[in-house]
Amino acid sequence: MRNPVRTILRNTALLTFVLRNSARNIVRKSVRNLVPFILLGALAACSKPAETPTAETAQPTGLESIPAPDPAKYPPVSKMSGWQNPYLVVREDGIGFVDLSNREVHILKVEEIPAELVSLPSSAWPYGRVVMVAQAAPKNPTDQTKADLRKNRALLLGTLKELDVQFQEAP
């Protein structure tokens, strides 16, 4: 007759062995099935997303026919009064667009500047795609007028950058 304790121990050991091997097989199969998905996920995470048009993509501005600026053509700093390209004056109430034929200043909103520059004939750009930018002295130099000047200047320079128009500081 067999020893019942020994039989129980042997059956328990056999059961433990079977369970361990079954668990290992389940884990192996699961890992084997998950590896392709993990690799696919890593590959997707490392790949570059498709490029979508951004604000940095050059958009037609209407000024493309105007050549790039040529600093060699600019008048000397001592004779900047002879400037022939568009002349803009940053003011607290907007942007002054100086009509060089009669020296009149037309006050525009910053968003009107692109249309105004595009409407100029190519003969208005003898130095290329560059404008003169000056800043008016505020009538009442309060904190608010100074803030308005800073805001208008920043908006103007941002607009010029979007249009790919360089600027020259007025002396």
Report pLDDT digits (tens) over 91-112: 999 999 998 888 899 999 999 9
Q: For 42-80, what is each residue's pLDDT tens digit?
A: 777 776 666 655 555 556 777 888 999 999 998 887 777
Q: Do 90 and 152 share a domain, yes or no?
A: yes
Report the predicted TM-score, pTM, of the whole model to 2 decimal places. 0.63
> Cβ atoms within 10 A of the Cβ of 155, count?
17
Bridge partners, 23 (sequence order): none
Query: CA 115 to CA 109: how far, in whole Å?
Result: 11
The count of structural domains within the chain is 2
CA 37 to chain centre: 35
Q: Which of 34, 57, 80 is the last residue of a domain?
A: 57
Regarding whether 75 and 139 lie in a shared domain, the answer is: yes
Give residue 55's pLDDT: 52
Q: Which of 19, 35, 57 lies at the terminal end of a domain, its last residue? A: 57
> For residue 63, is it within any domain?
no
Structural domain that includes position 42: 1-57
At 133, is the secondary structure helix, strand, or coil? strand
